[in-house]
Amino acid sequence: MLWTLEPAERDAYLAKESTKMFTKDNWVLVEIACTRSALQFFRAKQAYQIRYKTSIEEDVAYHTSGDVRKLLVPLVSTFRYDGDEVNMMIAKSEAKILHEKMEAKDYNDGDLIRILTTRSKAQISATLNHFKNKFGTSITKYLKEDSDNEYVQLLKSVIKCLTYPEKYFEKVLRQAINKLGTDEWGLTRVVTTRAEFDMERIKEEYLRRNSVPLDRAIAKDTHGDYEDILLALIGHGHA
């Protein structure tokens, strides 16, 4: 069913499922908002409004609270610049701001959220590279310490999805496959949404991280028609 939908329709459906009471999943919202291009995400938001007669923004705001709402609402409201132009002055000054916030564990700071929810992916990458070069450690290392906090984990996923989506998706796949009783929803979601986009990069990352090709891991863990369609879709990149 997911594969038969257009990408924008599919994202709209996944986002809606993620804001419902019993299938709530803030990670999927982060995934859709941060790994799609600005235009892809905009189209998903249009499809969402046509299909559900509400906006992603209002549903996310209604179904979240506290710091999670403070992060997710601007994240799903944004229309980022999608080009490669980078302002190095801003990268330096904002790396300094981010470092101050990390040192103070001020993870819900307005400026921190502003930078991550409005800057382009190229600008954020430049800022985080400068952060690492100047302060000798990556921003995600700071966030590792508070790994039992859902908000901090979401923040980490935002950064990963914006800067290294293939690493984020590899982890989702690894956890889905390694889970006792495969997490078919996670597996299905990543394969159907990424088959036409960056599946080759995700497969390379999976092999690098697990020393097993993704197709072999899927074949070992699934059966029948479900296995066939997944394997067809991850081979889709060769077509």
CB 192 within 8 A of CB 10: yes
Query: How far is Cα 130 from Cα 124, in angstroms, rounded to an integer?
Result: 10
Residue 4 annotated as part of some ligand binding site: no
Longest dimension (CA), the chain: 55
227 carries a ligand binding annotation:
yes
Task: Determine if residue 177 is labeled as part of a ligand binding site.
Answer: yes
Q: Is 16 annotated as a binding residue?
A: no
d(CA 211, CA 205): 10
Question: Which tokens hold the place of 238?
Answer: 């060769």
Q: List the one residue out of 193, 203, 220 whose CA is nearest residue 31.
A: 193
Any known ligand binding at 56? Answer: no
Q: Is 181 left (phi over 0), alpha (psi -120 to 50) or beta?
A: left
Confirm or deny that 150 is annotated as ligand binding: no
140 is in an annotated binding site: no
Binding-site residues from annotation? 177, 179, 181, 219, 221-222, 227
Which residues line the annotated binding site for Ca(2+)?
A: 177, 179, 181, 219, 221-222, 227
